[in-house]
Amino acid sequence: MSDPIDTMVDQAPLPIDTETKLRRFWRLLKAAPLSVWFSLVVLACYAVLVVFAGVIAPFPETEIVAGSFLPASAEHPMGTDALGRDFLSRMIYAAQNTVLIAIVTTLISFTIGGFLGLLAATLGGWLDQGLGRAVDVLMAIPPLIFALLLLSIFGTSTLNLILIIALVDATRVFRMARAVAMGVVVMEYVEAALLRGEGLLWTVTREVLPNTIAPLMAEFGLRFCFVFLTISALSFLGLGIQPPAADWGTMVRENAALISFGEMTPLYPAAAIGLLTICVNFIVDWLLKISSGLKE
């Protein structure tokens, strides 16, 4: 006669394996709208440019290869810039520089702001009040002006650019993470974890975080867009990624005068900025929809 306990174990539902999760995701992906597929293809192209910029670019990033402001030709499909550097090569290297810096900055801001937001919601009390008032003060200052001020004080190196934008953006992440977590920390399973003596870090990472991951993932995509646009705006103003490194915001500023002569050159980096932002937003909207269970 079999043991009842063994029978219960045999009949217990098995955890969903990775292959099943992938099949479910593939079914969702096949049902995704055309805008999502278009966005995925565009983001894949951006990823290839970021990873293989040195291989794809026909010329080095800072090499002067011809005269200034040459029109498009077979050798230089997008012409040359004010110093005679190949514009297509600069566009490719700018993708690598701008996107990588935006990803690193967003990861840092989410690590700081997200953890502090979840911690404040879980503990409450003086920590929540103190962090909340500090964030309110920082958010009262327009983010672009605040970043310009800090970069003017501490310098415009790449490290300073990443840390300053991450600090400014972490305030927004904090508010989002705290607001989402406030609806989770009052649930019975969180209270049970605290009552049975689980540590604070365990409770935050194993109970609160998994139940807030869907809106936080969507917020990550949106914050990436804001960080990316902030870096481009700062570069356009001369306080972002510094020459001779290629950057789309700087390329728009350096070639803006060509619009008066009917040249399309300044529109290429502007279009690259806009296209990446739109595609990320399409995917974020789709992820929010499938995670919330909404139907057409």
Name the pTM for this structure.
0.84
Structural domains present in the chain: 35-70+92-292 (1.10.3720.10)
22-37 mean pLDDT: 81
The confidence score (pLDDT) of residue 8 equals 35
The confidence score (pLDDT) of residue 2 equals 44
Distance, in Å, from the CA atom of 49 to the CA atom of 186, rounded to the nearest integer, reads: 45
Distance, in Å, from the CA atom of 224 to the CA atom of 125, rounded to the nearest integer, reads: 31
Name every residue whose Cβ is closer than 8 Å to that of residue 38 and which is 6 or more positions away in sequence.
279, 282
Confidence label for 116 from pLDDT (cuts 50, 70 and 90): very high
Confidence label for 9 from pLDDT (cuts 50, 70 and 90): very low
**What is the average pLDDT value for the chain, to the nearest integer?**
85
Instruction: Give residue-wise pLDDT tens across range 235-286.
Output: 988 888 888 888 899 898 888 877 877 778 888 999 999 999 999 999 988 8
Distance, in Å, from the CA atom of 115 to the CA atom of 29, rounded to the nearest integer, reads: 30
The confidence score (pLDDT) of residue 248 equals 92
DSSP label of 204: I
Instruction: Give residue-wise pLDDT tens across range 68-89.
Output: 888 888 888 888 888 889 999 9
With a cut of 60, say whether residue 295 has pLDDT above it: no
80 phi/psi in degrees, rounded to 5: -125, 165
Instruction: Give residue-wise pLDDT tens across range 194-240.
Output: 778 777 788 888 888 888 887 888 889 889 999 999 999 999 888 88
The confidence score (pLDDT) of residue 5 equals 37
The confidence score (pLDDT) of residue 275 equals 94
Show the beta-strand stretches assigned E in the chain.
Answer: none
CA distances from 153 to 61, 146, 160, 204, 231 (A): 29, 11, 10, 36, 17
Higher pLDDT, 106 or 7: 106
The confidence score (pLDDT) of residue 16 equals 54
Question: What is the number of other CB atoms lying within 10 angstroms of the CB of residue 208?
Answer: 23
Higher pLDDT, 4 or 155: 155
For the record, the structure tokens of 261 come out as 């002569």
Nearest CA to 247 among 272, 227, 223?
272
DSSP of 112-154, one letter per residue? Answer: HHHHHHHHHHHH-HHHHHHHHHHHHHHHTS-HHHHHHHHHHHH
The confidence score (pLDDT) of residue 198 equals 77
Confidence label for 4 from pLDDT (cuts 50, 70 and 90): very low
With a cut of 80, say whether residue 185 has pLDDT above it: yes
